[in-house]
Chain A
């Protein structure tokens, strides 16, 4: 079990527990006092949540544009027009066009739709697997737990991107393949988290009382224990979305994800590579990457804000 301890010892972010402890020490004058510490501390907290809030706003705006965009923009994502090929950003094409004259803005919105859909679906697969396996392992204990946790170890030691490449090239790229492949490679963290929660929760009095009034095993797991273990799962799911977006873009970038003419952010970057290197068409590279970057960082901030919000004493998740 030492390996799990080692991995979980990674603090995801600076713990609020530790911040509190330090504040107390500082206030009691045990350490050298810094006069602005209290205010900076408050500012620190405030910034955190303000960033999470701003990120949420950014993602909502992005989602609305993805939905409304195709109705407002007078171009089609796959509409080839050689009269407007490789144009830098202009009023007609705010983000420029590619070498087939396709409007980059509409392609970016189209790519965002795919990226977000894949990430949400993949995280749902991963969460379902992780929660089920973690819950069964934690609740059953003993041999079942041991076998399932070895399975977690095996999956943790698989070179993820390699297996993903293998599945996608051999089965053939498609929405379902990519979602399922991403899902089965990212459930292990959640399984460990859920198992740990279940191990401690199943000994609590409320579970005993549920059992005493005759609740069945499934009911106890899903209705009584799971709701109490939910907050770390929510945080893990949020942060998982960021990872899924990055992995899906990387796969598309390697030319192994969705196939042309389907626009995805990773794919647009792959197609842009040559024209940036040879012709210096910077707009083809800057914007799709910026979208990945903004989305990932926004999701990360929201995850961090959620972590602080749902359980301020949790040190990691």
Chain B
């Protein structure tokens, strides 16, 4: 197991390097570099050719592409993602300010998904073909087809405009008292809608897998044996069956994480939350290459990490998997 673990982790490194190469080449090949404003005819006069040349030299933009990439990779190995063209701040610090917000929204949405989808999926499987089962199955079909931004807008209409219960912008109210309980309550009310929106699709998705995994397990011989022994139904379902259904469920849950991270971009946009997604869109509009490279690298690293987690958990949970 530990050898497999090490091998998988080592495989993830060339994968990440491969992704950064593709993104780097994409960025280089696209028209309109970071100095496009100066090269633009409208910007002439104010920016001289010498200025542009000096800037290109300063940022190393005259070097061949592979030299630029290797420089970037070398810096990355030392924990340096470069400096933003726009703000002049270290990219790592800019990401450091935004990442916790995204991870908070994402983590809460993941927790909500767990708390809802597992009990609901199990109950639907146990009471197969009941009203509850049909209701759950229909809900999951609807849930995966609802565009999250539409759901968000409808929630805002209902809870912010009509009822006035929940705030629809940001994560805190700047006018609110940030001390003690009222500060906490302010944060909670700001988080309810973004987290629910982000959790909707993953809850709908995971519920389907939990139901399918439980149905698979319930018809197995050992479940019949457990019942034949005279165990209580609760015991059979929640201990014997769930333990075996856990393997595919855990994998699906881990694979849900990259989608949640990417979905957070949209949620941040609707609710005006200053997270990674907003940082990325702002930087793309400003052609701030170091920030773009940095955000993409962190995002790719997270996606690879979550996929790796799914793989390793699968291996760890299923004793039949041998390496």
Contact = CB atoms under 8 A, between A and B. Distances in A.
Interface in A253-287: 253-254, 256, 266, 269, 272-273, 276-277, 280, 282, 285-286
B110 interface: no
Chain B CB count within 10 A is highest, among A31, A157, A161, A277, for A157
A276 B141 contact: no
Chain B CB count within 10 A is highest, among A154, A249, A286, for A154
B149 A253 contact: yes
Contacts of B216: 18
A2 B314 contact: yes
Interface residues of A, number: 63
Interface stretch (B19-27, B40-48, B79-87): B19-27
B114 interface: no
Contacts of B141: 297, 300-301
A28 B32 CA distance: 70
Contact of B299 (A31, A162, A297): A162
A276 B168 CA distance: 11
A163 B295 CA distance: 11
B242 interface: no
A165 B284 contact: yes
A242 B266 CA distance: 18
A22 B30 CA distance: 55
Contact of A150 (B18, B142, B311): B18
Given A18-B215, A160-B262, A285 B150 contact: yes
A72 interface: no
B165 to A, nearest CB: 14
B196 interface: no
Interface stretch (B55-63, B175-183, B251-259): B251-259
A289 B153 contact: yes
A293 to B, nearest CB: 6
Given A253-B266, A297-B145, A169 B284 contact: yes
Given A150-B18, A159-B258, A242-B145, A3 B157 contact: no
A13 interface: yes
Contacts of A201: none
Contact of B129 (A18, A40, A286): A40
Nearest to B129: A40
Interface of A: 2-3, 6-7, 9-11, 13-15, 18, 21-22, 25, 30-31, 34, 36-37, 40, 44, 150, 153-154, 156-163, 165-167, 169-171, 242, 246, 249-250, 253-254, 256, 266, 269, 272-273, 276-277, 280, 282, 285-286, 288-289, 292-293, 296-297, 300-301
Given A6-B251, A158-B303, A285-B150, 11 more contacts: A2-B8, A3-B311, A36-B129, A158-B300, A161-B265, A163-B296, A166-B292, A170-B32, A276-B157, A280-B162, A293-B150
21 contacts: A3-B310, A3-B311, A6-B255, A6-B310, A40-B129, A154-B18, A157-B300, A158-B300, A159-B258, A161-B262, A162-B280, A166-B26, A171-B31, A253-B147, A273-B270, A276-B156, A280-B157, A285-B150, A297-B141, A297-B142, A301-B141
